[in-house]
Amino acid sequence: MSHDPLAAPRAYLASLVRSIPDHPKPGILFRDVTTVLKDPRGFRLTIDLLVQRYVGAGIQKVVGIEARGFVFGAALAHQIGAGFVPARKPGKLPGPRFGVDYALEYGTDRLEMHDDAIEAGDRVLVADDLIATGGTALAGVELVRRAGGVVVEACFLVDLPELGGAKRVEAAGVKTFSLIDFEGH
């Protein structure tokens, strides 16, 4: 029987995630990670585990997806010595930018990035709090690719595997990593 050294830390993080039924619409069970962020041990543990995975991997930029991806991505970028690039909702970035439209589980949206945020050949990690259907993550991957960057991996605190997002991202040629999984949506 193999022993997963991350089992206890993952169980602790999972215990911190709050589940909110019927948000943002009926039938959705929303996994709220702000409860991980407010817990000093939980937030540190999240970043430390991600740093252990990516330190020394040659990541040059971390793209954090608005909004909670900013928190995880910026802290991770700082710790591994990479630059941080925000992928934002429309109209939020002041400089020349380009964008990608994408489908969500409960609607459609758009992500934008500054034209000069990533240089051709940059090794990039895409970071967000949660992956559900994968639409947001795929939009982040597409932004990086259009800018000429190479997506090394996409990382998340939470994966909802029943919704298939990680499989969709992997089918697009990008490995994924998440610290915890929740059954259901």
Burial, 184: exposed, middle or buried (Cβ in 10 Å; 0-12, 13-18, 19+)? exposed
Say yes or no to pLDDT of 179 above 90.
yes
Token pair, residue 114, equals 């500054």
Q: Which of 31, 68, 88, 97 is catalytic?
A: 68
Residue 68 pLDDT more than 60?
yes
Q: Does the active-site annotation cover 68? A: yes
Res 24 pLDDT > 80: yes
- Please identify which of the residues 105, 123, 145, 146 carries the catalytic annotation: 105
Do the strands 61-65 and 83-87 form a parallel or antiparallel pair, or are they unpaired?
Answer: parallel
Q: What is the pLDDT of residue 152?
A: 98
- Assess whether 44 carries a catalytic annotation: no
The string of DSSP letters for 124-146 reads EEEEEEEESSSHHHHHHHHHHHH
CATH topology of domain 7-181: Rossmann fold (3.40.50)
Q: How confident is the model at residue 40 (pLDDT cuts 50, 70, 90)?
A: very high
User: What pLDDT score was predicted for residue 6?
Assistant: 82
pLDDT of 108 reads 85
Report yes or no: 157 and 129 within 8 Å, Cβ to Cβ.
Answer: yes
